[in-house]
Amino acid sequence: MLPFLLIGLGASVKRFSKFDQWLLFWLVIGPLPAALTYAELPHTYRTLFMLPPLAILMAAGVQTFFSWLKKKGKFLTWLFLPAVVVVTILFFAKAIHQYRVHQQVHQPWYRQAGYERLIKYLNQIEGAEEFTITNREGEPYIFVLFYNQILPSTYQAWPQKRLAHVDIKAGKTEWQMFNYTFSEEDCPFDEADTNPNHIYVSMPDCELPAGFEKLTTIDFLDGRPEFLVSRPTSL
């Protein structure tokens, strides 16, 4: 699509209508959300704002090129349209395969697929009163809220929110939401804890302290372990 993007961009600059001016302005300011941040870069989500003008310019490039071909003859036109349709379908099919099949098992370490099984498992532990979960696989509080169907207004009214980067730099290692404690440590065990109703979720390579028992391991979709679930044993 790069040739059509360049053709569409050239046509937009040449035409320079009010819509084109707005489109080009949108394209220029699109990278700002990513450019003004410094953590977790490059970040795909922060560049999503650029997609609409890029898509419009690509479509304009296809239309401009098609109009030029029509002047050259119907034969080229009939060759061009099926080619664009077939290539677009192939791109779409590849994207679906990457999303639904390939990325589920190929380097799934940042897919966070285990959180659904983790939250459902935690919810079925009888007598569980507290949960301490490592933050090292992303932001688990999001999945706690989602899979427990907590209303956004309930979370928004909660006095404490996730740790910002400045909080972590200041030395804070954990925060609490409801009966969940979220820790920046890989192995957030309290070795003095003897409450068997306090459930700990750590990285899978953590060594359990004395007095702790393993409950289960939550795996990635490719079978490798993602979380270790444990708890203290009562004295």
Q: What is the per-residue pLDDT across 48-89, written as a single tens digit (0 to 9) for each?
A: 888 899 999 999 998 898 888 888 777 777 888 888 889 989
Q: Are residues 96 and 158 in the same domain?
A: no
Range of the domain at 219: 110-232
Round to whole Å and give the CA distance between 11 and 221.
Answer: 46
Which residues lie below 8 Å from residue 63, measured CB to CB, with a gap of 6+? none
Evaluate if residue 216 carries a pLDDT over 80. Answer: yes
Q: Are residues 140 and 175 in the same domain?
A: yes
Q: Are residues 78 and 124 in the same domain?
A: no
The neighbour count for residue 80, using CB atoms within 10 Å, is 17
Domain boundary among 87, 107, 127: 107
DSSP 45: G
What's the pTM value of the predicted model, to 2 decimals? Answer: 0.70
Higher pLDDT, 219 or 35: 219
Evaluate if residue 184 carries a pLDDT over 60. Answer: yes
Based on its alpha-carbon atoms, the radius of gyration of the chain, rounded to whole angstroms, reads: 26
Q: Are residues 99 and 121 in the same domain?
A: no
